[in-house]
Amino acid sequence: MGKDFLYNEIANGIAGQIRRGVLKSGDRLPSVRMLCDKHAISMNTAKRVFQELEAQSLIDAKPQSGYFVSRLPYLKLPLPEVSRPSASANNNEPDELISKVYANMGNNDLTLFSVGVASGNLLPLAKLKKEIIQATRELRDGGTAYEPLQGNAKLRRMIAVRSLTWGGNLHENDLVTTNGGMNALSFCLMAVGKPGDTIAVESPAYPGTLRLALSLGFKVMELPTHPITGIEIDALKKAIPKINLCLLVPNFNTPLGGCIPDESKKEIVALLSKHHIPLIEDDIYGDLYFGPLRPKCCKSFDEEGNVLWCSSISKTLAPGYRVGWVAPGKYKDKLLKLKLMHSISSPSIMQEAVANFLATGKYDNHLRHLRRTLQDNYQNYVHAIAQYFPEGTKTSRPQGGLSIWVEFNKGIDTAELYDLAIKQRISISPGRMFTLQNQFENCMRLCIGLPWSAEIKSKLKQLGNLVKML
Amino acid sequence: MGKDFLYNEIANGIAGQIRRGVLKSGDRLPSVRMLCDKHAISMNTAKRVFQELEAQSLIDAKPQSGYFVSRLPYLKLPLPEVSRPSASANNNEPDELISKVYANMGNNDLTLFSVGVASGNLLPLAKLKKEIIQATRELRDGGTAYEPLQGNAKLRRMIAVRSLTWGGNLHENDLVTTNGGMNALSFCLMAVGKPGDTIAVESPAYPGTLRLALSLGFKVMELPTHPITGIEIDALKKAIPKINLCLLVPNFNTPLGGCIPDESKKEIVALLSKHHIPLIEDDIYGDLYFGPLRPKCCKSFDEEGNVLWCSSISKTLAPGYRVGWVAPGKYKDKLLKLKLMHSISSPSIMQEAVANFLATGKYDNHLRHLRRTLQDNYQNYVHAIAQYFPEGTKTSRPQGGLSIWVEFNKGIDTAELYDLAIKQRISISPGRMFTLQNQFENCMRLCIGLPWSAEIKSKLKQLGNLVKML
């Protein structure tokens, strides 16, 4: 607790300077190193200071540059409260609402704020096409033969190499490739759970995971989640006796975009491990950090093979390629058997192409560019929301990822907003989609993967006007 | 029964002429049309005559040429008996044996009689490569975007068009694409069954299906199956009160290679439909017929949407592409939801490439060539078995597909044979893999997808010698 006190004190000092105008919008803050020296604190404590200020939306990280005092709109838009879902398992699936929203997702005549991917013109399309052609040349029989069950070895090697950036230290043999990230989660859920089990998840959570868990016969327990620091550990502790497995998106989960601090990740891993509760970790947004550093994963702290770490390139490179993977820890044999039974193997060409792309430096260049674009989009969205949406509108403060969570005053029904907006060719994701309980009816998710333009701005204005009419 | 009597009488007449040497090995038989005219019978009855003679291995069909009196070795090798599995559900999974055999499947230093696919040099590799490149050019964002949930529309259209060849009369909207054929079966099993249900299957059956059914919590009831005419309808009738769903491979199932006669298919569909028991039909071998005509499917007779017809290009074109599909009848909504939950969508590029290949006449040309090659292989295998294997060896008479079922005298243990053979760099599939009961220990499956060569012949000789030593 002494450490907590220390970083809070320093953070409060800086926050005060910003609020009093000593530090002005756009001013650069000292570096992590400088802060360490100045206060004689550890790197970790210094990082925590900046994380706290970022969480309060007082500062922004800029890749390769450091931290800067935020632009003003952030300060005007309050943060949503920590979610307070009911403590019992629920299964009130918003099936009709989800079907309605999903049915419009392929409709490119709409402005799709509802689709959680990066738009095609943010992706390295020409380079990927070359890798596909190269893959048909390199692979035995042009990629027509069955791939080995565990998946393309080169791809697994590249993922293992990259795991160092988040403290993963994986070996290619620890990994199994899958038909996209959702397929990885599906195999993990089947590997560690059985019908009747109770699964703990964040709240709000990705609708696909909630539905999948229900369809596999699980009871779903949604836990209180802070928009910035993620799932509340105390709530998780209390739930322990009632749960059999846990699925978290610790880094930039959709819809909130929060990030569980590294120490908390460590604590969660230890807690679940101690009680033999498997943790499925969905890290598909991990590479899309806005700050200076790739956050760690729960897997980084996994000493007993109890964490099944899942990811894919669907959010960073090519959703349509369906290339995902999992490091299933001690559940690897179960996972391989499930993969064999449900799909035999994965398409060779897609995996080889992605492996070759990762093997060059191209992926990191692309990611740098994509992260900067998404962060700019995020700031532009927040500006537009501050400008066009009604007083009292709250927004999450994503530290990465592809979405913003917007909360309106009670009484605003975003399912109704969806129906109005779709008539104006705008698609949003109503908050009720992200829970199996009766909550979040006054919330919505906006995706920030579309390239910013005057048209997007005007669509956000239209949306704001619709909310004001409700 | 009058019709049965008629075709039997005519078939017996011709059979007698062959046995007495009036018709000699290699002689051409009258055409279906000529037989109709000669005996004043219907086309169906005439076809049934040839089917019966083919089933007795007295004649062979040659594509585009007609029927010919068989070469002699067929007549020397007796047919295995109809299987007689126990009438109760079993779950004695040969897990260790399967793992052992599967572990060697990627090992190209072995002669893989155990791998049920066509070898790469029987596939149109160069043409497929061009289609992949073309697909990256045609698709929006080069195929990086999510495909619509139901799957590539062009591919679905081509499959619908081709369904006329087997009396399917499908519309593109009836179809959902999947990540290969096994993935289609997996979704179907999840769509129509739930843990605790009992599923009826053939015996012997494909190990992947048996394991998948068990892993989904089903009880598996294996039913008596004739090597030539498939599952015994009387046994299915008796099982009706105990079963909740049924999965059949009516055309050239692995390992037997039999084909349920069209009238029996019709009867099965009516029977299951009457009792509201969904039928999952796996038709992955349907295009690999050795006879003059593509057989119908159970789906051809499905008036109530009770048949979920599954297929893929894994056995005919490119296993590594993982392109499959299903016409799920009245279970379409359930299937779409499962696809969304477990995999979001399928890889666009693979589906577009296959669609374009099917759209040209290339697929039919390729299939003609492949079928002829497989039929030649089959005859060469049977010759070698007759020559090198011990007296009393029985073989199935596949009318299509990729495998032969071989039965030895009781006492020959093919799991032991596997261990001996693998030391000589030969891999086979022991019969015990194809059941959850203690049967078929004296059987094995040989795949005929490897190109015939002096080396293959000598490996079969080696294998025969090993059997003689046991």
- Local confidence band at A1 (pLDDT 50, 70, 90 cut-offs): very low
Q: Is A7 on the interface with B (CB under 8 A)?
A: no
Task: Report how many Cβ contacts below 8 Å link chain A to chain B.
Answer: 184
Domain boundaries, position A15: 3-71
Residues of chain A positioned with their CB less than 8 A from the CB of B341 = 182, 186, 208, 211-212, 215
- Local confidence band at B266 (pLDDT 50, 70, 90 cut-offs): very high
Decide if B87 is inside a domain. Answer: no
Predicted local distance difference test score (pLDDT) of residue B72: 61
pLDDT digits (tens, 9 = 90+) for B43-101: 888 888 988 888 777 888 887 788 998 876 666 688 899 999 998 888 889 999 999 99
Share of chain B above pLDDT 70, in %: 97
Q: Average pLDDT of B3-19?
A: 78
DSSP string across A335-372: HHHHHHHHHSS--HHHHHHHHHHHHSTHHHHHHHHHHH
Q: For chain A, give the number of residues.
A: 470
CATH no. for residue B55? 1.10.10.10
Query: Is residue B82 classed as helix, strand or coil in its secondary structure?
Result: coil
Among the partner residues A128, A146, A215, nearest to B319 by beta-carbon distance: A146
> Do B337 and B291 share a structural domain?
yes
> Do A114 and A181 share a structural domain?
no
Decide if B83 is inside a domain. Answer: no
Decide if A82 is inside a domain. Answer: no
Residue A209 has pLDDT above 80, yes or no: yes
> Do A391 and A343 share a structural domain?
no
- Local confidence band at A268 (pLDDT 50, 70, 90 cut-offs): very high
Query: Is residue B100 classed as helix, strand or coil in its secondary structure?
Result: helix
> Do B357 and B382 share a structural domain?
no
- Local confidence band at A4 (pLDDT 50, 70, 90 cut-offs): low
pLDDT digits (tens, 9 = 90+) for A147-181: 999 999 999 999 999 999 999 999 999 999 999 99
Chain A nearest CA to B354, separation (Å) = 11
Average pLDDT of every residue of chain A:
93
For B18-27, B334-343, B420-429, which range has the lowest pLDDT when averaged over its residues?
Answer: B18-27
> Do A409 and A389 share a structural domain?
yes
Decide if A83 is inside a domain. Answer: no
Q: Compute how many other C-beta atoms are within 10 angstroms of the C-beta atom of residue A153.
A: 17
A window 283-342, beta carbon within 8 A of B: 314, 317-322, 337-338, 340-342
- Given B363, B380, B414, the domain boundary residue is B363
- Distance separating alpha carbons of residues B125 and A141, to the nearest angstrom: 7
DSSP string across A407-454: E--TT--HHHHHHHHHHTTEE-EEGGGG-SSS--TTEEEEE--SPP-H
Decide if B404 is inside a domain. Answer: yes
> Do A284 and A161 share a structural domain?
yes
Q: Average pLDDT of B167-186?
A: 96
pLDDT digits (tens, 9 = 90+) for A451-470: 999 999 999 999 999 999 99
Among the partner residues A105, A140, A142, nearest to B129 by beta-carbon distance: A142
Peptide bond into A398 cis (omega under 30): no
A window 94-113, beta carbon within 8 A of B: 102, 105-106
> Do B284 and B273 share a structural domain?
yes
> Do B106 and B230 share a structural domain?
no
> Do A205 and A133 share a structural domain?
yes
Among the partner residues B132, B208, B350, nearest to A341 by beta-carbon distance: B208
Cβ of A343 and B183 within 8 Å? yes
> Do A320 and A217 share a structural domain?
yes
CATH no. for residue A436? 3.90.1150.10
Peptide bond into A278 cis (omega under 30): no
pLDDT digits (tens, 9 = 90+) for B217-232: 999 999 999 999 999 9
Decide if B314 is inside a domain. Answer: yes
pLDDT digits (tens, 9 = 90+) for A381-428: 998 998 999 999 999 989 999 999 999 999 999 999 999 999 999 999
pLDDT digits (tens, 9 = 90+) for B192-220: 999 999 999 999 999 999 999 999 999 99
Predicted local distance difference test score (pLDDT) of residue B1: 40
- Distance separating alpha carbons of residues A183 and A47, to the nearest angstrom: 35
Q: Is the dihedral of CA B118, B121, B126, B127 positive or negative?
A: negative
Which residues make Cβ contacts (< 8 Å) with residue A221, sequence separation at least 6? Answer: A87, A88, A89, A198, A199, A200, A201, A239, A242, A243
| Cα-to-chain-centroid distance, residue B352 | 25
Task: Provide the β-strand partners of residue A222.
Answer: A201
Give the global pTM: 0.88
Best-predicted range by mean pLDDT among A15-24, A257-266, B36-45? Answer: A257-266
Give the residue from chain B lying closest to A340, CA to CA.
B208
pLDDT digits (tens, 9 = 90+) for B344-360: 899 999 999 999 999 98
How high is the ipTM of this complex?
0.87
> Do B411 and B321 share a structural domain?
no
Decide if B396 is inside a domain. Answer: yes
Q: Is B451 on the interface with A (CB under 8 A)?
A: no
- Given A306, A331, A363, the domain boundary residue is A363
Decide if B76 is inside a domain. Answer: no
For A98-112, A263-277, B155-169, which range has the lowest pLDDT when averaged over its residues?
Answer: A98-112
Domains in chain B: how many in total? 3
Chain B nearest CA to A156, separation (Å) = 17
Q: Is A38 within 8 Å of A53 (Cβ atoms)? A: no
CATH no. for residue A294? 3.40.640.10
> Do A138 and A101 share a structural domain?
no
- Local confidence band at B319 (pLDDT 50, 70, 90 cut-offs): very high
Cβ of B125 and A117 within 8 Å? no
What is each CA distance from A91 to A436, A441, B290, B378, B439, in whole angstroms? 5, 16, 52, 55, 44
Give the residue from chain B lying closest to A138, CA to CA.
B129
Residue found under tokens 């243990």: B413
Burial zone of B241 (CB within 10 Å; 0-12 exposed, 13-18 middle, 19+ buried)? exposed
pLDDT digits (tens, 9 = 90+) for B293-304: 899 999 999 999
